[in-house]
Amino acid sequence: MKSEIISVGTELLLGEIVDTNAAYLSQRMAEIGVDVHQRQTVGDNLQRLTAAIETALGRADVVILIGGLGPTDDDLTREAISAATGRPLVRVPASEQRLREFFAARNRVVAESNLKQCDVPSGGHHLENVCGTAPGVFVEHEGKLIFALPGPPPEFREMLQRSVLPMLRERLGPANVLYSRSLLLTEIGESQVADMLGDLISAQTDPTIAMYASPALVRVRLATKAADQAEADRKFAPLEAHIRQVLGAHVLGADDETMPVVVGKLLRERGATLAVAESCTGGLIASRITDVAGASDYFMTGVVAYANETKQRLLRVNESTLRDHGAVSEACAREMAQGVRKLSGTTYGLATTGIAGPGGGTPEKPVGLVYVAVADDNGTVVIEQTWPSTREQFKARVSEMALALLRKRLLGAV
């Protein structure tokens, strides 16, 4: 089954918004095994939008439009489907009643413009919108399926999940549904993974294996068509076991097990607690840890010690350390980790100190230099790294590096 996506809206062509809906829809289509062979982006222009739908109907089995279903004159998706299929727009009484009730409940008057949202190309029907006023549109035309969904992401996603995906899954039949499982890797580069898994990746046909790299993370994705999740899991299991054996502790977790989730799980399992002292990461490590619900079970204290005085007064870093080695030094990182641990009475203390830039670098201590330390009952480990990059990238990388160090300490690897 081949599909085509048409994103509608002049704001997209002006670059005012990034088209995350199209990427989200593409992912969902890939997951259920529907091939997205092309995408188009068209402004709020009836003639071009109609032509885009005609083109898509000529080469795809399923056409999904996103946006252009609102009440204003600029919203032309219903009209364009009508023009492209030759099906006149007809009013749906049930939709009109629902809209009138919606407005009455809010003491608002229904304008004539609002009512056009109650129209549908003849032979089609509406898809319920539980988050907004614009219903979606479904038309089956000469054996092709046409869907139109509203553009606001919460409405779009809800309607996709509730109405569109179940219809497509049903038409595809269960054996054609694609399942996937991603393994998230840490402290290893894309080329190293390619070296270690290269033969496996090129020889493997079902499940397929693909590798994706982002600045923070390499991901290995297994995908297979199966009747249900249990069958997919049975197909993934031996392959996942093999990859985990080859890559060892580089495998951070699966699917949504990111670094803060994995570290939180390890801390909770061990009944351990954590305090963090941050200089160059400026609170980002604490913020990422507390993005995980339930973090209060193990995360006690964060100290953002930007000023040297804060390092001394709160974290008890020695004045002589700052004088002799500077704030960006192995000794300072060590004392920060130990200091925040003692201050909070936690199992672990984690610390960062470095030069984020763009200012503050010297020939001996360049922009990008960073020390990360973890302290516990058994002692303190400090690592040094140099990562010249933008300020935000630096903070992101160092926060990941610090959590990776803590993970290794929790696993007994350092």
Stretch that binds a copy of itself, among 25-33, 69-77, 97-105, 316-324 (CB under 8 A): 25-33
**Encoded tokens for 87:** 């099906």
Residue type, 359: G
Residue type, 4: E
**Encoded tokens for 253:** 């977790």
Nearer to a copy of itself, 245 or 296 (CB): 296
Nearer to a copy of itself, 15 or 271 (CB): 15
Stretch that binds a copy of itself, among 167-175, 196-204, 241-249, 351-359 (CB under 8 A): 351-359
Using rule CB under 8 A, residue 398 touches a copy of itself: no
Task: Walk across the sheet containing 177-185 and list its strands.
Answer: 208-214, 217-226, 177-185, 251-254
Using rule CB under 8 A, residue 175 touches a copy of itself: no
* Shortest distance (Å) from residue 157 CB to a copy of itself: 13
Using rule CB under 8 A, residue 367 touches a copy of itself: no
Using rule CB under 8 A, residue 19 touches a copy of itself: yes
Q: Which of 215, 211, 200, 164 is nearest to 62 (CA)?
A: 164
Q: Which of 103, 37, 28, 41 is nearest to 67 (CA)?
A: 41
Using rule CB under 8 A, residue 345 touches a copy of itself: yes
C-beta of residue 4 within 8 angstroms of C-beta of residue 63: yes
* Shortest distance (Å) from residue 161 CB to a copy of itself: 15
Stretch that binds a copy of itself, among 22-30, 61-69, 93-101, 316-324 (CB under 8 A): 22-30
Using rule CB under 8 A, residue 364 touches a copy of itself: no
Count CB neighbours of 195 within 10 A: 10
Looking at 9, 132, 151, 282, which residue binds a copy of itself (CB under 8 A)? Answer: 282
Q: Which residues pair with 65 in a beta bridge?
A: 6, 148
Count CB neighbours of 131 within 10 A: 15
C-beta of residue 249 within 8 angstroms of C-beta of residue 408: yes
Binding mask 291-330 for a copy of itself (x = CB under 8 A): x-xxxx--xxxxxxxxx-xx--xx----------------
Pairing assessment for the beta strands 348-354 and 369-376 based on DSSP bridges: antiparallel
| Contact residues: a copy of itself, CB under 8 A | 11-20, 22-30, 36-43, 45, 48, 52, 212, 276, 278, 281-287, 289-291, 293-296, 299-307, 309-310, 313-314, 343-345, 356-359, 391-392, 395
